[in-house]
Every structure is written in C-alpha cells, then in structure tokens.
Amino acid sequence: MKSIAIKLAVLLYLITLPYVLSAQKFDLENQGPDVGEPFPIYNYITLDGDSINSETFTDRTILLNIWFVGCKGCKQEEPTLKELTKQFQDDNILFISLCMSKPERIRKYIEKNDDFGYKIISTNRKEVENRYSVVASPTHFLIKNGVLIDKHTGPFSPKNIAYLRFKKILSSE
C-alpha cells in the first residue's frame, strides 16, 4: 500500500512539474501586462458569435477575467461575478472572459451552472501565457480605453481588497 502511495506521489509530481516550472518564470502577483500600458488586443469571437476586437475596447471600460472549467477559485468567485455584472449591466462596462477550455466543455459547464454575465471566449492555456503572460487563474484585468488600469490574480469575493478596489473604479465610470 505504501509503495502505491509513493508511486502516485511521484507520478503527480512528474505531471505537475511543467506547470510549476512555468509558473516560476512569472511573478504571480504581477503577471500580465504592466498597469498604465496599452493592453494587448486580439480579434476573438465569443461563444455567442459576437466579435471582440480593438474597436470593442475604444471608449469603454472592460473587465477581463481569465479562467478555466475545473478551476476551484474560478468556481468560488462566480456568485461575486454575477453580482458585479448585475450591478453594472446598464453602464458602459463590458465583461469579457477568456476561458482556457474547449467550447463544448464551457457550454456544458454553463448549462449546468448558469453563466455569470460575461461574454465568453474559448482559448487555450498556451495562448493566454504567450499573449498575456498569465499562468494562474482566475486573473482579472481592468482596462479603460485600451489601457490596463488595474489587475488581480485570485478569486474575487465581497471582502477581497482587490475586488473592492475594482468595484470602486467601476462605480466611478
């Protein structure tokens, strides 16, 4: 029995090692573009068929969330994200999520758990790491007129300092 546990521990270590090494290349508190710099904008199509491009970011405030199906912190923050999108649904604020999961898996997840008010784009982990230097989820970026004005890695909750800071910025829009 002890031998099986040791083999499982070694296997788990070998499976997770590439992710650990990848995460060590980044300062997780400061992953992503620098605050005050233009946010890298690419052309995407949401799961609903809407186009997201540089024009989408003009004269708008964007809250961008990066997550994946199966992420415990991402699931944990869903009620907070729903409250946030409901509160600011009539403002000139666009809620976009980059989900590092296949479209079929995202749709199945949304059917089971309901959506949280964001326009969802399916992407992959490698693209998110290469384009945005993000290796941990959830990660949030607050973008105004194409410029990154704040960022946070970790789940949002009503008492989270970063969440309260983001909410204050959104309220001033």
Q: What residue type is 100 in one-letter code?
A: M
Q: Which residues pair with 44 in a beta bridge?
A: 52
Domain 28-171, classified CATH 3.40.30.10, yes or no: yes
From first to last of its 173 residues, the chain has per-residue pLDDT tens of 667 756 655 444 545 434 444 444 556 667 899 999 999 988 999 999 999 887 888 888 999 999 999 999 999 999 999 999 999 987 789 999 999 999 999 999 999 998 889 999 999 999 999 999 999 999 999 999 899 999 999 999 998 899 899 989 888 87
pLDDT in tens, 5-41: 566 554 445 454 344 444 445 566 678 999 999 999 8
pTM, to two decimals:
0.81
Here the tokens at position 49 are 């068929």
Residue 99: in which H helix or E strand, if any? strand 93-99
What are the boundaries of each domain within the chain? 28-171
Q: Count CB neighbours of 47 within 10 A.
A: 16
Q: Taking Cα atoms as reference points, which of 154, 159, 160, 152 lies closest to residue 137? A: 154
